[in-house]
Amino acid sequence: MPRPRPPYLSHERNFRGNMVWYVRVRGKRIRIKAAYGTPEFDAEYQAALAKTRDAGRVLGHRHRPGSLQWLIDQYRDTAAWQRDLSKATRRQRDNIFKKVLAASGNASFALITKADIERGRERRVAATPHQARHFVDTMRGLFRWAYKAQHIKSDPTAGVDTPARPKTEGFKAWTEDDVATYEQHWPIGSRQRVWLDVLLYTGLRRGDAVRLGRQHVKHGVATLTTEKTGTPVALPILAVLQLTLDAGPCGDLSFIAGAKGRPFTKESFGNEFRDACRAAGINKSAHGLRKIAAIRCAENEATVPQMNAIFGWTGSRMALHYIETASRKKLAADGMAKLERAT
């Protein structure tokens, strides 16, 4: 195996396809022009470290080279983290890193073994199976990158089994009665009604719905890139939604807004929308509205490509789930009618 890469050293390919090396410390980047592995390279590397004015002191004890904290800091500064992962995934993995670092931030990452990863997984399985899956995925992303970057000689997550996804019903879909009850409690002209109709008549996830505003709409079509998957969607503003938006109240930068017209974060909107639902006597979530939107599309015979275009899905699994459910419902209704005639 090649020797582990020295601390603070990173590389990338430039527009000509050539490998370019840098010393990077806390955002400050110094290029090394000599060929990697040569004495001239080592000299430039040491000089670059000196220019950072004692990298170890700048970063402090918790960030010393060789520690798990240092490795995660380096990982967060790469394309594998910033470009390849969605904002939502980075936020989720950051929360896992915080707990890992609180317990083992000063540990040497080179000494972490497969058994360590498996113990971390098992501590999470019994109480929070979903967290066990996320923990393994997070640590696998970190150490696969570290292996490719030559920071470690072997990947401790190799061969670690990912816990099976727990079988749950997930978020409950709204029913048509739920929608009618909410609409009766929150009529057009209330900001809570804007919240419902933006979610229901775009099919957007909560994190995308809170970003949607006039700046995204051109010639009656709202265009934006979804937060979770980075998939672009182009959604015509339906007449029923336009009526609600015209009545408002809406914010300046987003249709969904709070009492003072300010936009929400995904998390704060979730709390406010939950309160609006409870006030209307409904114990369901914003994601459940996305589900009834998919159900409506499927029951009106939308195709897989059409549903993928609306909901930002890829492949056919999600769309077929709703289409097959709708088909079974229709077939059952037709079949029961035949049974009744036979009787």
Q: Are 139 and 157 a contacting pair, CB within 8 Å?
A: yes
Q: For residue 74, which of 153, 21, 145, 160 has the smallest C-alpha distance?
A: 145
Task: Tell me the three-class secondary structure of the chain, residue by residue.
Answer: CCCCCCCCEEEEECCCCCEEEEEEECCEEEEECCCCCCHHHHHHHHHHHHHCCCHHHHHCHHHCCCEHHHHHHHHCCCHHHHCCCCHHHHHHHHHHHHHHHHHHCCCEHHHCCHHHHHHHHHHHHCCCHHHHHHHHHHHHHHHHHHHHCCCCCCCCCCCCCCCCCCCCCCCCCCCHHHHHHHHHHCCCCCHHHHHHHHHHHHCCCHHHHCCCCHHHEECCEEEEECCCCCCEEEEECCHHHHHHHHHCCCCCCCCCCCCCCCCCCHHHHHHHHHHHHHHCCCCCCHHHHHHHHHHHHHHCCCCHHHHHHHHCCCCCHHHHHHHHHHHHHHHHHHHHHHHHHHC
Q: What is the pLDDT of residue 26?
A: 62
Q: Count other Cβ atoms within 10 Å, centred on residue 338.
A: 9
Going from N- to C-terminal start, the domains of the chain cover: 1-59, 61-168, 176-332
pLDDT digit string, tens, across residues 276-285: 999 999 999 8
Confidence of residue 147 (pLDDT cuts 50, 70, 90): very high
pLDDT digit string, tens, across residues 81-97: 988 887 778 888 999 99
Q: For residue 179, which of 292, 278, 275, 270 has the smallest C-alpha distance?
A: 292
pLDDT digit string, tens, across residues 103-120: 888 888 999 999 999 999
Q: Are 285 and 219 a contacting pair, CB within 8 Å?
A: no
pLDDT digit string, tens, across residues 182-192: 999 999 999 99
Chain mean pLDDT for the chain: 85
Q: How far is the C-alpha of 114 from the C-alpha of 130, rounded, in Å? A: 20
Q: How far is the C-alpha of 124 from the C-alpha of 128, rounded, in Å? A: 5
Q: What is the pLDDT of residue 60?
A: 42
Q: For residue 226, which of 296, 130, 309, 289 has the smallest C-alpha distance?
A: 309
> In the CATH scheme, what architecture does the domain 61-168 have?
Orthogonal Bundle (1.10)
Mean pLDDT of 198-204: 94
Q: What is the pLDDT of residue 2?
A: 46
Lowest mean pLDDT among 166-175, 267-276, 313-322: 166-175
Q: Can you read off the two tokens belonging to residue 192? A: 């809570």
Q: Can you read off the two tokens belonging to residue 328? A: 């079974």
Mean pLDDT of 156-180: 84
On the question of pLDDT at 1 being above 60, the answer is no
Q: What is the pLDDT of residue 56?
A: 45
pLDDT digit string, tens, across residues 278-319: 999 999 989 899 999 999 998 888 999 999 899 888 888 888
The most confident of 53-62, 70-79, 159-168, 330-339, by mean pLDDT:
70-79
Mean pLDDT of 236-242: 95
Q: What is the pLDDT of residue 306?
A: 92
Q: Side by side, which strands form the sheet with 221-225?
A: 217-218, 221-225, 232-236
Confidence of residue 57 (pLDDT cuts 50, 70, 90): very low
Q: Using N-to-C axis directions, what is the helix angle for 129-148 and 87-104, rounded to 10°?
A: 90
On the question of pLDDT at 12 being above 80, the answer is no
Q: What is the pLDDT of residue 166?
A: 62
Q: What is the pLDDT of residue 313?
A: 86
176-332: same fold as 61-168? no
Q: What is the pLDDT of residue 36?
A: 81
Stronger pLDDT, 336 or 102, i.e. the higher one: 102
Stronger pLDDT, 69 or 50, i.e. the higher one: 69
Q: Which CATH number fits domain 176-332: 3.30.930.10, 1.10.540.10, 1.10.10.10, 1.10.443.10?
A: 1.10.443.10
Q: Does the pTM of the predicted model rise above 0.95?
A: no
Q: What is the pLDDT of residue 80?
A: 87
On the question of pLDDT at 342 being above 60, the answer is no
On the question of pLDDT at 49 being above 80, the answer is no
Mean pLDDT of 130-150: 92
On the question of pLDDT at 257 being above 70, the answer is yes
Q: How far is the C-alpha of 223 from the C-alpha of 230, rounded, in Å? A: 12
Q: What is the pLDDT of residue 125?
A: 82
